[in-house]
Amino acid sequence: MHRITAAIWMDLVPCLCTALGAGTVFLTGRRTAGPGRGATGLSAGIMLGAGLFGLLLPAAQSGGWPAALAGFFLGAAALTALGPLAGRVTRTGGAAGLVLASAFYNLPQGMAVGLAGATAAHGAGLAGALTFSLGLGLQNFPEGAALSLPLRAKGASRRMAFGAGAASGLVELAGAALAGALAVRLAPALPWLMGAAAGAMACTVARQLAPAALGEGGRGAAGAALGFGAMFALSTLLG
């Protein structure tokens, strides 16, 4: 299978799950501002599990733990540097700002899963690629809702809010195609890139999801534990 085709196929599940999550805007009223703490905690646990079992551990196994750890810190540092810019765009840009800010996080995730898929097409790390793809899809469902529901609450039509949420998944698909096209050149750096994606995901959880999920009551913590446990089970089943 061609590397670009494999990369796109691997990212189809996350892209479709984003669209499905964004589609929840058709089932809710205008006052619904976003997913609850339980769903946000579930997304956080899934993201942490996908980053650990689908990215960081396979990166350490294929390229050694120093490369994986260095990539992890680089990814976290990059997202920390981009975080204030994304937040500023979100606060000042309205609906367009929300969509643009989501691209800061979705593009590197799409590149990571696309590169993993392109590499797996040639027999390397298929289980890890599948784990990451499925985990990212599970995480993207509440993420799509987290984009479309606030837009609806701000006054956007249901169709516009859905389109904006689904578009964030297309950003991931574009990143996957780009990574597939550059897979040959990027293959030696795969452990670094996988570690960087894991670091970016961990930073996203710490900066965005954990504060929104944790608070009074245990729904957020229970959701996080459930999501992380589901990713552990999935990675074990896929071998």
Residue 206: per-residue pLDDT: 81
Specify burial of residue 187 (Cβ count, 10 A radius: 0-12, 13-18, 19+). Answer: middle
pTM over 0.75, yes/no: no
Query: What is the phi-psi region of residue 217: left when phi exceeds 0, alpha when psi lies from -120 to 50, beta otherwise?
Result: left
From start to end of 53-193, where are the E strands? none
Burial classification of residue 138, based on how many CB atoms lie within 10 Å of its CB (0-12 exposed, 13-18 middle, 19 or more buried): buried
pLDDT of the residue at 239: 62
pLDDT of residue 87: 58
- Per-residue confidence in pLDDT tens, the chain, 239 aa: 577 888 888 889 989 999 998 898 898 765 555 556 777 787 788 778 878 887 788 888 878 899 999 999 998 888 778 766 655 655 555 555 556 666 666 777 788 788 778 777 655 567 777 877 887 787 788 778 877 877 777 778 889 889 888 888 888 889 889 888 887 777 777 788 778 878 887 887 887 777 777 765 678 888 888 888 988 887 787 66
Q: What is the distance between the alpha carbons of residues 202 and 196, in angstroms, rounded to a whole number?
A: 10
Domain parsing of the chain, residue ranges? 3-237
* Tokens representing residue 56 in the block: 């960081």
Q: How many beta carbons lie within 10 A of that of residue 184, not counting itself? A: 10
- Name residue 47's amino acid: M
